[in-house]
Structure 1
């Protein structure tokens, strides 16, 4: 199900913990699987759990608790907007509304062309940089005013 390279990366995660604590590697292992496959199906979660050596229910608990794990396919650019109170007070809600307008989708939706998914997120730990976005769970974009959003969208070919 996963490439040899991904399994090697999961082995690296597992090596960080004593054998009896291999459950601690599940977050990293799920992230690695998601990067390779694009999202985490139930079958993928079960496979990763078995590989790590924990019950599938424990892996599913992790995958459903954290919003960085995608349980269904998402767009090529998954944009998570922080709308927690500090970001909301500094333009996070407005940034989200602007993105909805520009992309023609709401939170939890993917554009018809499959290029964008918009997600509402919780605190990203960068209140001083608000409003912030996370792109594909890995790249934080700070101070996302309308102009900054337009510049980012232009990079992706959106006018």
Structure 2
């Protein structure tokens, strides 16, 4: 077990594709769907099981923007920055969340590991702009204040369930 990742489960996913190289992207997608990211140990195991070099697996993982090599928080917050959301002030929402989470520079995940903040080009909910998703649940017509209230609610719910 590495960072909450079961290598047995990783091997089950790889084996479900018969350890075939041409299924590498699907394997990586399935593992990331389960663990929210691909750790170095996972990438090495994929390489080993598929009989390819680790560099090949890393090149695929870094080529596709959808793959994450960093651990993500329990709650993945995506702030839409598509045209409709941008015009309706999504950037101040992003900035308020970043400040609330005390994220520095390119840091995306809060120190407590609870939240990961990302931007996306478009969430396809332009009529509801500005839009934020938390673990793919859409929150429409957001403002910086509503976004912070949402995070505080999630933080309280998480503490109550701990």
In 1: Cα distance, 2:13 partner to 2:54 partner: 20
- Runs of 4+ deviating beyond 6 Å: none
Q: Any gaps of 5 or more consecutive residues in structure 1? A: none
> With structure 2 as the length reference, what TM-score do the two structures score?
0.65
- Residue deviations 1:71-116 (CA, integer Å, cap 9, x gap): 1223222322222333212332122122123322255332222222
SS of residue in 2 equivalent to 1:109: coil
Q: How does 1:131-142 map to 2 (within 5 A)?
A: 131-136=130-135, 139-142=136-139
Counterpart-to-counterpart distance in 2, 1:134 and 1:11:
33
SS at match of 2:62: helix
Count residues in correspondence: 149
Contact persistence 2:132–2:142 (CA under 8 A):
no
From the superposition, tell whether residues 126 and 3 of structure 1 become closer, same or farther in structure 2 (CA, over 3 Å): farther
Partner residue, 1:122: 121
| CA–CA separation in structure 2 for the residues paired with 1:127 and 1:53 | 45
- C-alpha distance in 2 between matches for 1:126 and 1:27: 28
For 1:13-59, what per-residue CA distance to the aligned partner results, in whole angstroms no more than 9, with x for missing partners?
Answer: x48xxx98x53x43332233234445312331232245456654443
Q: Which runs of 5+ in 2 are unaligned?
A: 1-5, 157-162
Q: Relative to structure 1, is the Cα distance of residues 54 and 105 closer, same or farther in structure 2, using a 3 angstrom cutoff? A: same
Q: More deviation in 51-60 or 36-45?
A: 51-60
Q: TM-score, normalised by structure 1?
A: 0.66
C-alpha root-mean-square deviation of aligned residues, in Å?
Answer: 3.4
